[in-house]
Amino acid sequence: MKKYPYPVSEVRRFLEPGPIVLVSSHWQGKDNIMTLGWQTVMEFSPSLIGCMISAGNHSFEMIKASRDCVINLPEVGLLDTVAQIGNCSGSNTDKFTRFGLTPEPAQSVGAPAVAECFASFECQIYDDVLVDSYNFFIFEVLCARVKSLTDWPQTMHYTGDGIFRLDGETVNRHQWFTKVS
């Protein structure tokens, strides 16, 4: 299914609920993917996302060197893939090939998107002040693409020990919201 352009200032709609994401990267001719659950929205505009990427991950040095990545949003159909991507290393595995995923050229960064994901948020390092001290990257989302503006993906939320919670029912309390929030 094709992805469509999406306003970068609204990526919080997908990331604020706290789903597990796949972070794809590219450096020196090689692609990689990692599973991440330690991230937060930091600002609407510029569109900032903070990501804690442990230095033990092969992706850490790749992203630090290339200064960009793509944050991809997997749906529940990719749960087994997501779990397994988080339990092997890009140092000795071509994860796109091993897991049958398709690297898709990004529009604004060198890292590829993951074609099979519901949404792709192309990110560039905005501030690396906490990278050495906390492994914490502050990214700016330069370009966002989403598969459908009407459907909503069922996402996965990680609790540790191999246990995921899936998201469920939607509840609307718009009537109490007095400002954009």
Contacts with a second copy by CB under 8 A lie at: 10, 12-14, 16-19, 37-43, 48, 50, 52, 79-80, 83-84, 86-87, 127, 129-130, 134, 136, 138, 156-179, 181
26 versus 95: smaller Cβ distance to a second copy: 95
How far apart, in whole angstroms, are the C-alpha atoms of residue 48 and residue 15? 11
Closest approach, Cβ 78 to a second copy, in A, equals 12
Closest approach, Cβ 28 to a second copy, in A, equals 26
Q: Which of these, 33, 109, 126, lies nearest to 74 by C-alpha position?
A: 33
First-to-final CA distance of the chain = 30
106 versus 138: smaller Cβ distance to a second copy: 138
Looking at residue 175, the DSSP 8-state letter turns out to be: G
Q: Which of these, 22, 49, 53, 66, lies nearest to 141 by C-alpha position?
A: 49
Closest approach, Cβ 71 to a second copy, in A, equals 13
- The answer for 29, left when phi > 0, alpha when psi is -120 to 50, beta otherwise, is left
79 versus 115: smaller Cβ distance to a second copy: 79
Closest approach, Cβ 8 to a second copy, in A, equals 14
Query: Contact at 8 Å (CB) between 141 and 122?
Result: yes
6 versus 14: smaller Cβ distance to a second copy: 14
Closest approach, Cβ 32 to a second copy, in A, equals 17
ω into 112 cis (within 30 of 0) = no
44 versus 110: smaller Cβ distance to a second copy: 44
